[in-house]
């Protein structure tokens, strides 16, 4: 049960309180702080500065096990993420015989230090699935409603993509005045494109949140390091570099790190959020922040978990759960892996083609 100040610690007052500093929370903090709103951000993990902490240039020989994955660093020692598939303090269960890896980051910037930076847009048909197929439901908004916001986000984040003339049905790309030019395809990509051409498929550079020209304090990519480790020059987008730091510069953003939120607190009606209860992970004490507005951006599943954990006698099934749907039909990042070996490249001398790390995806169009 959520109870008002059960903490006996001084209560912090905030105007807008945001829980989580990843893609969602970072964007919210940036948008509000740069619009002049006072924002307090609570993040479960520690502060992280990509400019100084990213192991961009370290050779694998400097890492234990030559940077191979381990249970606590599943994507390798030099991966920027603090966290991974299993977090000791946040266990979860799965049904017998099923496997589910819930990949989480606990750090300022969340999963944006590790994500693939692939930024496809939904197309017009994706908003009208029921009308087009008779399945699922149509969105209450259309692509045309959302397109200006895509433009705006892509401008803030910085996205490379193909010439807009190359866009095909239902796969819109950033307009030319916003996009960054994509780098030349690398040898493996050219080989792949050639193979696709043979079966009548066209390829083009996939929209990706990487700068190929300088943008404010952030520099253009120099195509030589592994983006999964993060990017100390700010070419690859992460929430700290792209959102949190510019928001801090406005003087409107206050950050409380190591703050793991347990519950949203509500008023006597049980309907209006009045703040949150969190655990200060460093001192292991419970604390409270009161706020006019509470924004949950702790990741889709973790936000649901907090709302379920915020049950009161007025809302016994959890906050905002009168339908009983809270926590059901939720989507998160899913993984699948395919590895191939291309004999054409075996034994070739090392080369350094232009391209982005090992993850320039190509979109197939027919
Ligand atoms: C390996 C991988 C590759 C991906 N590649 C892509 C891609 O190419 N393109 C794409 O669009 N998406 C990709 N994603 C998905 C993308 O990273 C996520 O959709 C996005 O980061 C979600 O943003 P978010 O703000 O909801 O959550 P997150 O970025 O996870 O941020 C949530 C934040 O909330 C904090 N938090 C959690 N619980 C609490 C709590 N109780 N109290 C306080 N703070 C809390 C966390 O520490 C974290 O900082 C990828 C994800 C992974 C894991
Ligand atoms: S390849 Fe480019 S975007 Fe990726 S880490 Fe290196 S400089 Fe940054």
| Res 104 pLDDT > 70 | yes
pLDDT at 1 > cutoff 70: no
Kindly report the protein residue whose alpha carbon is nearest to atom 14 of ligand 1.
115
Does position 5 have pLDDT exceeding 50, yes or no?
no
Ligand 1 — pocket residues by CB below 6 A?
19-25, 42-45, 103, 105-107, 110-112, 114-119, 259-261, 297-300, 302, 306, 333
Rounded to the nearest angstrom, the distance between the alpha carbon of 82 and the centre of ligand 2 is 19
pLDDT digits (tens, 9 = 90+) for 201-219: 888 889 999 999 999 999 9
Compute the average pLDDT of residues 26-34. Answer: 98
Residue nearest (by alpha carbon) to ligand 2 atom 3: 236
For ligand 2, atom 4: residue with the closest CA? 227
Read off the pLDDT of residues 76-103 as tens digits, 9 standing for 90 and up: 999 999 988 888 888 888 899 988 888 8
Per-residue pLDDT averaged across 180-192, rounded?
86
**Is 90 exceeded by the pLDDT of residue 295?**
yes
Q: Using CB atoms within 10 A of its CB, is residue 39 exposed (0-12), middle (13-18) or buried (19+)?
A: buried
Mean residue pLDDT of the chain comes to 90
Distance 215 CA to ligand 2 centre (A): 14
Q: What is the pLDDT of residues 46-70, one digit of tens each?
A: 999 999 999 999 999 999 999 998 8
Q: Which pLDDT value is given to residue 365?
A: 56
- 224 CA → ligand 2 middle, Å: 6
Distance 317 CA to ligand 2 centre (A): 45
The mean pLDDT of 352-361, rounded to a whole number, is 59
> pLDDT category, 353, cuts 50, 70, 90?
low
Average pLDDT over residues 223-249: 94
Atom of ligand 1 nearest to the CA of 25: 25
How large is the average pLDDT for residues 206-233? Answer: 93
pLDDT in tens, 122-150: 999 999 999 999 999 999 999 999 999 99
pLDDT-derived band of residue 346, with 50, 70 and 90 as boundaries?
confident
| 352 pLDDT above the threshold of 60 | yes
Ligand nearest to the Cα of 17, by number = 1
Question: 165 C-alpha to center of ligand 1: Å?
Answer: 32
Closest CA to ligand 2's atom 7:
221
**pLDDT of 355 above 80:** no
Q: What is the pLDDT of residue 18?
A: 98
Q: What is the pLDDT of residue 235?
A: 96
pTM: 0.93
* Dist. CA 47 → ligand 1 center (Å): 16
Residue 346 alpha carbon to ligand 2 centre in Å: 25
Please give the number of the atom of ligand 1 that sits closest to the Cα of 75.
Answer: 1
């Amino acid at each position: 049960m959520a109870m008002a100040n059960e903490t006996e610690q001084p209560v912090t007052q905030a105007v807008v309180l945001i829980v989580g500093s990843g893609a969602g929370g970072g964007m919210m903090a940036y948008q509000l702080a740069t619009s002049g709103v006072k924002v307090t951000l609570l993040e479960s993990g520690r502060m992280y500065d990509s400019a100084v902490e990213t192991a961009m240039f370290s050779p694998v020989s400097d890492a234990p096990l030559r940077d191979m994955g381990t249970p606590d660093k599943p994507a390798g020692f030099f991966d920027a993420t603090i966290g991974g598939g299993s977090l000791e303090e946040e266990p979860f269960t799965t049904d017998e015989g099923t496997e589910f890896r819930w990949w989480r980051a606990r750090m300022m910037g969340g999963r944006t230090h590790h994500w693939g930076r692939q930024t496809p847009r939904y197309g017009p048909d994706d908003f009208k699935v029921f009308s087009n197929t008779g399945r699922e439901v149509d969105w209450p908004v259309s692509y045309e409603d959302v397109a200006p916001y895509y433009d705006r986000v892509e401008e803030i984040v910085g996205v490379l993509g193909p010439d807009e003339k190359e866009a095909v049905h239902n796969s819109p790309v950033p307009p030319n005045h916003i996009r960054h030019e994509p780098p030349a395809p690398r040898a493996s990509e050219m080989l792949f494109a050639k193979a696709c051409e043979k079966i009548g498929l066209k390829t083009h550079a996939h929209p990706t949140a990487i700068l190929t020209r300088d943008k404010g304090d952030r520099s253009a990519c120099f195509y030589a390091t592994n983006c999964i480790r993060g990017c100390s020059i700010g070419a690859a987008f992460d929430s700290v570099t792209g959102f949190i730091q510019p928001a801090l510069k406005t003087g409107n953003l206050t950050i409380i790190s190591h703050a793991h939120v347990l519950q949203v607190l509500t008023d006597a009606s049980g309907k209006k959020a009045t703040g949150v209860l969190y655990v200060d992970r460093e001192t292991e004490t419970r604390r409270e922040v009161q706020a006019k507005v509470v924004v949950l951006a702790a990741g889709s599943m973790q936000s649901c978990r907090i709302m379920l954990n915020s049950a009161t006698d007025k809302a016994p099934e959890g906050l905002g759960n009168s339908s009983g749907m809270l926590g059901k039909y939720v989507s998160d990042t899913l993984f699948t892996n395919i590895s191939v070996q291309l004999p054409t490249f075996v034994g070739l001398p090392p080369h350094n083609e232009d391209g982005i790390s090992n993850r320039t995806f190509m979109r197939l169009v027919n």
